[in-house]
Structure 1
Amino acid sequence: MLVAVGPYGQSQPSCFDHVKMGFVMGCAVGMAARALFSSFSCFRIGMQGRELMGGIGKTMMQSGGTFGTFMAIGMDIRC
């Protein structure tokens, strides 16, 4: 695969770089959205302390991984 070189000598990001960037962006957005929604629901049912942090952290990681995977697939299709 040929890599295009810009006017100042820098090369364009590869397809793998696009997929990585899509995963990281999707992971960040998924984790942020899940932190907001899960914190409200956990507070509503009365979680406190360690239980609260564990519940929010677990759902943040799950949502970030799922949304990151879908964003990576979308970036791969665009590539």
Structure 2
Amino acid sequence: MKQLIDFFKDHPTLARLIFFGTIGGVVIWSLTTDTSHGHSWVEKHIPAFWSIFGFISCLVLIFFARWFSDSGIRKGDDYYGD
């Protein structure tokens, strides 16, 4: 696993290409899926709803985690004193 991480650190354009290619593939697959049997209105009428929902959910989790860590979980090196 460390070798894979080091490889992607050395080749950031390839990592971005794989990332955006995967995202694009999921969105294209979501657009071509039959939505006539959706369970709710949004599933039937909003293309790629679950892809958009998942992306927004990830952003909310990231911003919440950063806010939570800045509010007191993350402390400085000299927190406990000498």
Max Rg structure: 2
Higher relative contact order (CA 8 A, sep 6+): 1
TM class by shorter-chain length? 0.3 to 0.5
Q: Which has the higher helix share?
A: 1
TM-score (ref. length: structure 1): 0.37
TM-score (ref. length: structure 2): 0.36
